[in-house]
């Protein structure tokens, strides 16, 4: 595992994380889980200097843009296996998995350098219930439907639905983090009228308004 940069501003990042979690009033996140979140962030900041895993370069901005944004899903993620489609640098799946250590998370990511990063972080943090699948989402065919399919900044809602229909069982909940144009995407989504689509407004400190779109087949 790549060693965290000695310049990583961990104390400042911890203060931003603590304040954000308090403002969002999420389910309790213990001190050891918060430390693991910062360990993950330190690795992401270090790898990002070489491998360009995320467009956000400032580690302190990563707290709001990546950790808090991902954790805003916590109240809506059900129990059971969660499948993170197009996980990229592990978002939103890894922060959620860190906070839900007794739950199984599968991170599906087609790009080799990102999958390598995910494997390194999962091994280094001892996340035994996180699986990394290097594959396009359309090619990933699990033996059973997941309890939830989650996604962040991967594709439009119509495209995401098409990419994941083979993963959507009768009890599978799909959750997609979106920006303020979610209404336009829903309007352009042909299958939306057939689904139970819900829209939840999210308030993430340091970010413009966010929306969580959920649906079940």
User: What would the pLDDT profile of 42-52 be if each residue is shown by its tens digit?
Assistant: 999 999 888 88
The tens digit of pLDDT for each residue in 4-30 reads 455 789 999 999 999 999 999 999 999
Compute the distance between CA of residue 112 and CA of residue 126 in angstroms, rounded to an integer: 21
Predicted local distance difference test score (pLDDT) of residue 55: 85
Helices (H), the chain: 10-24, 31-51, 59-62, 69-71, 93-99, 112-125, 157-164, 182-187
Across the strands, what pairs with 215? Answer: 174
The residue that leads in pLDDT, 14 or 217, is: 14
Asked if 101 contacts 133 with a C-beta cutoff of 8 angstroms, the reply is no
66-215: CATH topology: Rossmann fold (3.40.50)
Predicted local distance difference test score (pLDDT) of residue 71: 98
Predicted local distance difference test score (pLDDT) of residue 51: 85
Q: Give the global pTM.
A: 0.94
Neighbour-count burial of 14, counting CB atoms closer than 10 A to its CB (0-12 exposed, 13-18 middle, 19+ buried): middle
Domain ranges of the chain: 66-215
Predicted local distance difference test score (pLDDT) of residue 5: 54
């Amino acid at each position: 595992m790549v060693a965290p940069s000695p310049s990583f501003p961990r104390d400042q990042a911890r203060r931003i994380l603590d304040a954000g979690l308090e403002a969002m009033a999420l389910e309790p996140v213990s001190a050891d889980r918060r430390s693991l979140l910062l360990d993950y962030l330190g690795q992401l900041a270090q790898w990002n200097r070489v491998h360009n895993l995320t467009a956000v370069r400032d580690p302190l901005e990563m707290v709001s843009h990546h950790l808090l944004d991902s954790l805003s899903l916590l109240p809506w993620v059900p129990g059971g296996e969660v499948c993170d489609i197009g996980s990229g640098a592990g978002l939103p799946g890894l922060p959620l998995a860190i906070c839900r250590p007794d739950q199984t998370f599968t991170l599906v990511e087609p790009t080799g350098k990102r999958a390598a990063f995910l494997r390194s972080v999962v091994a280094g943090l001892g996340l035994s219930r996180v699986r990394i699948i290097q594959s396009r989402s359309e090619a990933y065919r699990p033996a059973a439907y997941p309890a939830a399919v989650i996604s962040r900044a991967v594709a439009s809602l119509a495209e995401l639905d098409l990419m994941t229909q083979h993963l959507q069982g009768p009890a599978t909940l799909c959750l997609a983090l979106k920006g303020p144009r979610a209404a336009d995407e829903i309007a352009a989504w042909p299958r939306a009228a057939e689904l139970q689509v819900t829209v939840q407004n999210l308030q993430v400190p340091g970010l413009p308004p966010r929306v969580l779109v959920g649906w079940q087949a």
